[in-house]
């Protein structure tokens, strides 16, 4: 819903502006631009522009417009899975989180080809392990236990 | 001529079987690393730096340099195919690169970007060979005031991005500026908007935000549009894929685009700081303002892809100028190279080219070879990438998401950045749906802090007076150049309008 | 036998090792404190900055030497944990309380970061092993400048405040610049920069009047005659800077605040383990490889073991805190 997104942005902008005005000084003690100089302008303008955009959308009657249901559902499922993946990375590490996420996503979106899904689910963490861990020697999230 | 003697000497050092092997390995690894979202040139060099400890300095630097421009090359592949810039320098390449791929011209787009990268890189090396000492004068005259003016020029290109819906574009840019203020304030050391989190002291980095807003946001948006329901491909169409090679028209359109933006990119790349990012943006807006149909830009115009690509690759050569002639690192990547120089016992500085000519010229000549190697490699690599993207989107998407997430994590081993990326993904999805401009967010995020810091440095130096911009010679030159571009642009615009008017009346 | 695993982040390999010796590793952490130090277990080196930086090079040099001279028996695994000016990496070491098989190298941020940010750890919480070398500073001007000596610099500065550049605002560069002005008695404007490249360029383009920098970062420009060095912070002036007076000779010795290149262990590590590492480092700094490293990076030899290192850190912290409080940064 548009209203939700705009409300979230506006709230964030207000918090930002509040902090810019109350936590950060406008000028330094030498009278130069301080840490709060630009944030105050940025925050102030951001709030103004968001209010203007919300009014404009409201006039067009788009603010409360309902989503076409089917469209949003698949995107929402993917977003939900992605967030779960992020949390799982912290808790279980990539070796467990990756096949869980890939497996679940394929099961939902590609339910007709179970065999292929299984193969990809197993191959994904392995490829990541070899490519990132061995070839690139990059760090990977290891979870809470080791 | 001395330069050619030097170059020949350099080539004789560079062309040994073992060095060529390292060069090829470096170029392929660089290309591969660049193609992984999250891994830019600097991450690539840093990751592979330890491997080079046991090599001779010349082999090592050849390999590292090859990784550097190989990653520049490869970074655009994901920008075009997945709308995911791996580095701030390739943001401008997504503007027209991704629409081209969406319109079924992924093949020609990739080939043209490879050509543009080759031309940009090669013109860059030629300029280094012939004129490095002269160009080092650019570095010698660039202080905070000039840097600020350059940032402002970069920021003006934001206006071009806002042409659609100016209020949403403005909000996007302001969000980017706001994100850019997070972290420790350089001048006073005060923390801004960190909420006490140590991970945020260093600020919000470009990579997680860009990968989230572009790459992940695009994934969610594609699912919203039902791209995963089609049999193959998805976000990108392949019905025209019989046309793998660019058409004659593409080449004719771009015949001036490549050289002029290569030179522009090279000159801006010399300036330590955000050379390649600003260069690619300025190239894009220069090309847009020179075009007869600026409205086509952003809809999949070949020149809109070729311009920033020539510029950012030429800029990566340009960044070698301060490194070789003054020992000054101009970017994160060249800073790692500089650390390597010291480790090999070299003393980077104005005397490097005199004291270690075999090293400096070996490196320069290896860059010619490297650019050629990359062109050849991409002939093999492009069909492979196009082939991968042909997989059904519902299978590809979860895998891309995994690679983006882990790639983001790997850069700094930071789980906080991983969550910033995922959150940016959701925001990017909404931005795309509601007509905001993710490009304006990331560009403001990159350029905003630079502009703020350089302006505040300038005013510290001038003790609060703005006169400094009119006193310093280099600033005045930039201001004049500035004015010329704006006036020229206005003139072209009015000319064009008159032409159109004429056409209409006739 | 020592097998040097790999020299960069290797989680999966840690995993492999962990699987084989899981039980011993798990037991090692809480109970090792009372026992004698066991150098056959895997050693974890945490680098609080990214690859290629000063801290990274130091850690990797140290690992190479430990390996080459068989000073450490077990495997050595190095991990870069950058973020928050060292806050993330040293925070990780802090969380390994009492575990003597974790080590980390230090730099200027080891003192500055906890003062500036609300880190859960404090510089003095850790077990301090040794200061191995110091990164000192040099005050330079552009060679085109009419300032030839430190005395002239002070004279000019007293007539009209000069602008002096450095890296960061809560950092060694600023502390040294500030202390110099206090000791020599002049006014100045400190101009902070983010990266060495921008700072060096600012001086090259005559945007600022002078800068404070580590010699390694600008030695090439000094040798080529683009920059003129006015003063060096340590007593021992490196060969490449011969003829440059030290702060001590100029009567501003108190302005010297060397950046500590040292070694630390997690908090509450047993005295045996600390002593083992002190002995080992004593051997490390004697090796030709170490001498070569100190020379190539223009560091100053400055070895302080155990409590002397702690004392050194205390002095530095006091210096930092006094100045940063005065200038309002913290």
What is the rounded CA–CA span in Å between residue B434 and residue B75? 28
What is the rounded CA–CA span in Å between residue B360 and residue B354? 9
The interface predicted TM-score of the complex, written ipTM, equals: 0.92
Query: Which chain C residues are within 8 Å of B330, Cβ to Cβ?
Result: 197
pTM for the model stands at 0.87
Whether A133 contacts chain C with CB within 8 A: yes
Query: Which is nearest to B409 in space by CA: A146, C7, A98, A121?
Result: A98
Pairwise pLDDT comparison (C54 vs B235), residue with the higher score:
C54
**What DSSP designation does B412 have?**
H
Give the model's pLDDT for residue C54: 80
Give the model's pLDDT for residue B455: 95
In which residue ranges of chain C is pLDDT below 70? 1-35, 52, 329-330
Q: What is the pLDDT of residues B190-229, one digit of tens each?
A: 889 988 787 788 889 888 998 999 889 988 998 888 877 7
Task: Kindly give, in sequence order, each residue whose CB lies less than 8 Å from that of residue A93, ignoring residues fewer than 6 positions away.
Answer: A140, A141, A142, A143, A144, A145, A146
Pairwise pLDDT comparison (B496 vs B287), residue with the higher score:
B287
Sign of the alpha-carbon torsion through C22, C27, C29, C32: negative
CB pairs under 8 A between A and C: 25
To the nearest 10°, report the CA torsion of B433, B434, B436, B439: 0
Average pLDDT over residues A115-136: 86
**Cβ–Cβ < 8 Å for C64, B346:** no
Q: Which of B145, B272, B339 sits opposite C207 (nearest CB)?
A: B145
Give the model's pLDDT for residue C23: 40
Is there a contact between A133 and C79 if contact means CB atoms under 8 Å apart? no
Kindly report the nearest CA distance between residue A146 and chain C, in angstroms. Answer: 7
Give the model's pLDDT for residue C116: 80
**Helices (DSSP H) in A23-142: which residue ranges?**
37-60, 69-92, 94-109, 114-128
What is the rounded CA–CA span in Å between residue B70 and residue B79? 15
What is the rounded CA–CA span in Å between residue A81 and residue A87? 10
Q: Which pairing describes strands C188-193 and C102-105: parallel, antiparallel, or unpaired?
A: unpaired
Is there a contact between C52 and B457 if contact means CB atoms under 8 Å apart? no
Sheet of strand C138-142: strand arrangement: C188-193, C162-167, C210-213, C138-142, C227-232
**Cβ–Cβ < 8 Å for B10, B62:** no
Confidence band for B506, pLDDT divided at 50, 70 and 90: low
Confidence band for B13, pLDDT divided at 50, 70 and 90: confident
**Cβ–Cβ < 8 Å for C106, C264:** yes
Q: Which of C6, C14, C328 sits opposite A137 (nearest CB)?
A: C6
Examine the pLDDT at B242 and tell me if it is beyond 70.
Answer: no
Sign of the alpha-carbon torsion through B276, C214, C54, B345: positive
Give the model's pLDDT for residue C232: 94
Rounded percentage of chain B residues whose pLDDT exceeds 90: 25
CATH 3.40.190.150 placement within chain C: 3-135+258-327
How many Cα atoms occupy the beta-carbon half-sphere of C223 within 13 Å? 20
Q: Which of C50, C116, C163 sits opposite B460 (nearest CB)?
A: C163
Is there a contact between A74 and B223 if contact means CB atoms under 8 Å apart? yes
For C286-312, the DSSP string reads: TSHHHHHHHHHTT-EEEEEETHHHHHH
CB pairs under 8 A between A and B: 150
What is the rounded CA–CA span in Å between residue C83 and residue B346? 29
Rama region for C194: left / alpha / beta (φ>0; ψ in -120 to 50; rest): alpha
Give the model's pLDDT for residue A140: 83
Q: Which of A35, A46, A138 sits opposite B174 (nearest CB)?
A: A46
Please state which of the four CATH numbers 1.10.260.40, 3.40.50.1370, 3.40.190.10, 3.40.605.10 is assigned to the domain occupying C138-255.
3.40.190.10
For C184-236, the DSSP string reads: HT--EEEEEESSHHHHHHHHHTTSSSEEEE-HHHHHHHHHTTSEEEEEESSSS
Is there a contact between A133 and C80 if contact means CB atoms under 8 Å apart? no
Examine the pLDDT at B168 and tell me if it is beyond 70.
Answer: yes
How many Cα atoms occupy the beta-carbon half-sphere of C97 within 13 Å? 6
Q: Which of B184, B327, B336 sits opposite C221 (nearest CB)?
A: B327
What is the distance, to the nearest Å, from the Cα of residue C12 to the centroid of all Cα atoms in its chain? 29
Query: Which chain C residues are within 8 Å of A33, Cβ to Cβ?
Result: none
Kindly report the nearest CA distance between residue B329 and chain C, in angstroms. Answer: 5
Kindly report the nearest CA distance between residue A146 and chain B, in angstroms. Answer: 15
Cα–Cα–Cα angle for A36, A37, A39, rounded to 5 degrees: 65
**Cβ–Cβ < 8 Å for B222, B393:** yes
Query: Which chain B residues are within 8 Å of A59, Cβ to Cβ?
Result: none
Residue in this structure with the two tokens 């490009």, named with its chain if needed: B439
Structure token pair of residue C256: 């010297």
Confidence band for B333, pLDDT divided at 50, 70 and 90: confident
Whether B42 contacts chain A with CB within 8 A: no
**Cβ–Cβ < 8 Å for B352, B61:** no
Question: What average pLDDT does chain B have?
Answer: 85
What is the rounded CA–CA span in Å between residue C97 and residue C128? 13
Distances (CA, A) of B307 to B33, B114, B260, B291, B445: 23, 12, 9, 12, 22
Pairwise pLDDT comparison (B161 vs B180), residue with the higher score:
B180
Is there a contact between C52 and B189 if contact means CB atoms under 8 Å apart? no
Cα–Cα–Cα angle for B296, B299, B301, rounded to 5 degrees: 60
Whether A137 contacts chain B with CB within 8 A: yes
Residue in this structure with the two tokens 């003690």, named with its chain if needed: A29
Sheet of strand C259-265: strand arrangement: C4-6, C76-80, C43-47, C102-105, C259-265, C127-135, C300-305
In degrees and rounded to multiples of 5, residue C215 shows phi and psi of -60, -35
Confidence band for B487, pLDDT divided at 50, 70 and 90: confident
Examine the pLDDT at B279 and tell me if it is beyond 80.
Answer: yes
Confidence band for B243, pLDDT divided at 50, 70 and 90: low
For C18-83, the DSSP string reads: HHHTHHHHHHHHHHTTTS---TTSPEEEEESS-TTSHHHHHHHHHHHHHHHTT---S-EEEEE---
Structure token pair of residue C217: 């970062």
Whether B136 contacts chain C with CB within 8 A: no
Is there a contact between B460 and C52 if contact means CB atoms under 8 Å apart? no
Is there a contact between C15 and A138 if contact means CB atoms under 8 Å apart? no
Q: What is the pLDDT of residues B292-319, one digit of tens each?
A: 888 888 888 899 999 999 998 999 889 8
What is the rounded CA–CA span in Å between residue B275 and residue B87? 13
Q: Which of C60, C117, C163 sits opposite B201 (nearest CB)?
A: C117
Average pLDDT over residues B478-499: 80
Beta carbons within 10 angstroms of residue B15's beta carbon: 14
Q: What is the pLDDT of residues A68-86, one digit of tens each?
A: 656 788 899 999 999 999 9
Is there a contact between A137 and B405 if contact means CB atoms under 8 Å apart? no
**What DSSP designation does A94 have?**
H
Task: Point out the least confidently predicted range of A17-26, B109-118, B179-188, C11-20.
Answer: C11-20
Work out the burial of residue B197: count CB atoms within 10 Å of its CB; fewer than 13 is exposed, 13-18 middle, 19 or more buried: middle
Structure token pair of residue B177: 């500026």
Q: Which of B168, B405, B413 sits opposite A85 (nearest CB)?
A: B405
Q: Is B496 helix (H, G, I), strand (E, B) or coil?
A: helix
- Helix, strand, coil percentages (3-state) for chain C, rounded to 5, are 45, 20, 35
Q: Work out the angle between the directed axes of helices A37-60 and A2-22 (0-180°, nearest 10).
A: 160
- Write B376-385 long-range contacts (CB < 8 A, 24+): B377/B24, B377/B27, B377/B28, B377/B31, B378/B31, B378/B73, B378/B110, B378/B111, B378/B114, B379/B114, B381/B31, B381/B77, B382/B77, B382/B107, B382/B110, B382/B111, B382/B114, B383/B244, B385/B35, B385/B77, B385/B81, B385/B110
Confidence band for B237, pLDDT divided at 50, 70 and 90: low
Is there a contact between C220 and B350 if contact means CB atoms under 8 Å apart? yes
Sign of the alpha-carbon torsion through A79, B219, B72, B92: negative
Give the model's pLDDT for residue B241: 52
Give the model's pLDDT for residue B504: 65
Query: Which chain B residues are within 8 Å of A110, Cβ to Cβ?
Result: 392, 394-395
What is the rounded CA–CA span in Å between residue C97 and residue C184? 44
Structure token pair of residue C319: 């210096």
Cα–Cα–Cα angle for B293, B297, B302, rounded to 5 degrees: 95
Query: Which is nearest to B161 in space by CA: B176, B148, B146?
Result: B176
Kindly report the nearest CA distance between residue C20 and chain B, in angstroms. Answer: 24
Kindly report the nearest CA distance between residue A21 and chain B, in angstroms. Answer: 12
Give the model's pLDDT for residue C13: 40
Give the model's pLDDT for residue C305: 94
Q: Which pairing describes strands C76-80 and C43-47: parallel, antiparallel, or unpaired?
A: parallel
Whether C198 contacts chain B with CB within 8 A: yes
Residue in this structure with the two tokens 């049999």, named with its chain if needed: B231
Examine the pLDDT at B424 and tell me if it is beyond 90.
Answer: yes
Please state which of the four CATH numbers 3.40.50.2020, 3.40.190.150, 1.20.58.1610, 3.30.420.40 is assigned to the domain occupying C3-135+258-327.
3.40.190.150
Work out the burial of residue A5: count CB atoms within 10 Å of its CB; fewer than 13 is exposed, 13-18 middle, 19 or more buried: middle
Is there a contact between A102 and B394 if contact means CB atoms under 8 Å apart? no
For B107-130, the DSSP string reads: HHHHHHHHHHHHHHHHHHHHHHHH
What is the rounded CA–CA span in Å between residue A57 and residue A51? 10
Give the model's pLDDT for residue C148: 94
């Amino acid at each position: 819903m548009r209203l939700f997104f705009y409300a979230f942005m506006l709230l964030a902008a207000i918090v930002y502006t509040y902090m810019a005005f109350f936590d950060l000084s406008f000028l330094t003690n030498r009278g130069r631009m301080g840490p709060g100089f630009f944030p105050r302008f940025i925050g102030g303008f951001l709030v103004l522009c968001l209010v203007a955009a919300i009014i404009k959308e409201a006039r067009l009657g788009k603010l409360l417009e309902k989503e076409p249901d089917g469209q949003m559902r698949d995107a929402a499922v993917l977003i939900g899975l992605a967030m779960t993946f992020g949390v799982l990375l912290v808790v279980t590490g990539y070796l467990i989180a990756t096949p869980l996420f890939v497996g679940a996503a394929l099961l939902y979106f590609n339910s007709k080809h179970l065999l292929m899904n299984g193969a990809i689910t197993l191959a994904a963490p392995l490829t990541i392990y070899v490519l990132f861990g061995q070839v690139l020697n990059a760090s990977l999230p290891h979870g809470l236990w080791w | 001529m001395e330069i050619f003697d030097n170059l020949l000497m350099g080539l004789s050092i560079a062309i040994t079987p073992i060095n060529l092997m390292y060069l090829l390995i470096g170029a392929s690894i660089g290309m591969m690393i660049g193609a992984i979202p999250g891994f830019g040139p600097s991450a690539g060099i840093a990751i592979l730096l330890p491997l080079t400890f046991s090599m001779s300095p010349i082999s090592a630097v050849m390999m590292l340099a090859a990784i550097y421009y190989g990653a520049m090359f490869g970074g655009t592949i994901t920008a075009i195919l997945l709308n995911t810039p791996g580095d701030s320098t390739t943001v401008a390449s997504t503007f027209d690169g991704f629409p081209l791929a969406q319109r079924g011209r992924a093949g020609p787009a990739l080939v043209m970007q490879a050509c543009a990268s080759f031309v940009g890189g090669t013109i860059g090396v030629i300029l280094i060979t012939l004129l490095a000492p002269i160009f080092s004068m650019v570095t010698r005259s660039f202080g905070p005031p000039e840097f600020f003016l350059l940032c402002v020029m970069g920021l003006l290109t934001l206006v071009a991005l806002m042409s659609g819906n100016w209020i949403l574009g403005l909000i996007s840019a302001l969000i980017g500026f706001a994100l850019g203020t997070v972290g420790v304030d350089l001048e006073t050391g005060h923390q801004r908007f960190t909420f006490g989190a140590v991970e945020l002291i260093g600020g919000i980095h470009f990579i997680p935000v860009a990968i989230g807003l572009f790459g992940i946001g695009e994934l969610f948006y594609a699912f919203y549009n039902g791209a995963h329901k089609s049999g193959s491909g998805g976000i990108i169409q392949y019905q025209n894929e019989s046309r793998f090679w660019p058409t004659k028209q593409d080449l004719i359109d771009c015949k001036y685009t490549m050289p002029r933006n290569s030179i522009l990119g090279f000159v801006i790349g010399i300036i330590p700081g955000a050379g390649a990012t600003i260069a690619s943006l300025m190239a894009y807006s220069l090309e847009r303002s020179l075009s007869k149909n600026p409205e086509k830009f952003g809809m999949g115009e070949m020149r809109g892809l070729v311009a920033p690509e020539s510029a950012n690759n030429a800029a990566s050569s340009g960044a070698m100028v301060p490194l070789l002639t003054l020992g000054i690192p101009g970017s994160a990547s060249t800073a790692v190279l500089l650390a390597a120089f010291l480790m090999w016992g070299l003393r980077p500085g104005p005397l490097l080219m005199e004291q270690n000519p075999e090293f400096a010229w070996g490196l320069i000549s290896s860059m010619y070879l490297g650019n050629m190697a990359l062109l050849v490699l991409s002939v093999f690599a492009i069909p492979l990438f196009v082939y991968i993207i042909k997989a059904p989107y519902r299978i590809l998407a979860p895998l891309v998401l995994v690679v983006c997430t882990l790639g983001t994590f790997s850069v700094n081993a930071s789980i906080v950045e991983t969550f910033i990326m995922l959150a940016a993904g959701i925001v990017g999805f909404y931005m795309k749906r509601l007509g905001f401009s993710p490009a304006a967010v990331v560009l403001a995020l990159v350029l905003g802090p630079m502009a703020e810091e350089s302006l505040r440095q300038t005013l510290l130096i001038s003790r609060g007076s703005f006169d400094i911009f009119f006193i310093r010679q280099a600033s005045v030159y930039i201001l004049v150049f500035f004015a010329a571009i704006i006036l020229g642009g206005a003139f072209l615009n009015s000319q064009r309008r008159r032409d159109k008017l004429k056409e209409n009346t006739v | 036998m020592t097998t040097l695993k790999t020299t960069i982040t290797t989680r999966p390999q840690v995993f492999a090792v962990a699987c084989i010796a899981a039980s011993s590793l798990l037991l090692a952490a809480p109970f090792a404190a009372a026992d004698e130090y066991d150098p056959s277990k895997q050693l974890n080196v945490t680098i609080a900055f990214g690859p290629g930086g000063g801290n990274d090079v130091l850690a990797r040099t140290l690992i190479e030497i430990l390996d080459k001279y068989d000073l450490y028996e077990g495997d050595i695994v190095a991990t870069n944990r950058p973020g928050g000016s060292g806050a993330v990496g040293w925070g990780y070491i802090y969380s390994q309380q009492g575990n003597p098989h974790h080590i980390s190298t230090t730099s200027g941020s080891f003192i500055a970061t906890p003062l500036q940010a609300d880190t859960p750890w404090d510089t003095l919480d850790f077990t301090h092993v040794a200061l191995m070398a110091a990164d000192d500073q040099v005050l330079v001007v552009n060679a085109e400048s009419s300032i030839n000596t430190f005395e002239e610099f002070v004279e000019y500065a007293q007539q009209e405040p000069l602008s002096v550049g450095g890296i960061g605002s809560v950092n060694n560069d600023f502390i040294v610049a500030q202390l110099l002005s206090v000791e020599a008695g002049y006014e100045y404007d400190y101009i902070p920069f983010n990266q060495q490249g921008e700072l060096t360029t600012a001086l090259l383009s005559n945007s600022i009047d002078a800068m404070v920098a580590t010699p390694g970062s600008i030695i090439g420009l000094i040798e080529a005659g683009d920059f003129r060095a006015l003063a060096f912070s340590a007593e021992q002036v490196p060969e490449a800077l011969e003829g440059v007076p030290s702060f001590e000779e100029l009567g501003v010795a108190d302005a010297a605040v060397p950046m500590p290149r040292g070694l630390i262990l997690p908090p509450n590590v047993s005295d045996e383990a600390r002593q083992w590492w002190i002995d080992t480092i004593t051997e490390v700094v004697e090796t030709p490889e170490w001498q070569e490293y100190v020379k190539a990076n223009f560091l100053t030899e400055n070895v302080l073991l155990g409590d002397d290192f702690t004392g050194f850190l205390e002095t530095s912290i006091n210096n930092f805190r006094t100045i940063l409080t005065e200038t309002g940064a913290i």
